[in-house]
A and B are shown apart, each in its own frame.
Chain A
Amino acid sequence: MDFLITLVNGLSLGGIYAMIALGYTMVYGIAKMLNFAHGDIIMVGGYTILLFIPVNPVLAIVAAIVFCVIVGVTIERFAYKPLRGASPLAVLITAIGVSTLLQSLAQVIFGSAPKIQQINLGALQLGQLKIEISTIITLVCSVIVMVALHLFVKYTKVGRAMVAVSEDKGAAQLMGINVNFIIMITFAIGSALAALAGLFYFLKVQTMTTTFGALPGIKAFTAAVIGGIGSIPGAMVGGLLLGVVESICLSIPAISAYTDAIEFSILIIILLVKPTGLLGKKRREKV
Chain B
Amino acid sequence: MSFSTMLSSMGEGMLRSCAIFILTILFSMPLGMIVMFLRRSRFTIVREITKIYIAIMRGTPLMLQLLMWYFGPYYLFGMNIRGYRFTAILLGFSMNYAAYFAEIYRGGMETIPVGQYEAAEILGYNKVQTFFKIILPQVLKAILPSVTNEIITLVKDTSLAFTLAYNEMFSIAKQIAASQTSFMPFVIAGVFYFAANYLVAFIMERIEKAFDYYK
Q: Is B a genuine binding partner of A?
A: no
Residues of B within 8 A of A (CB): none
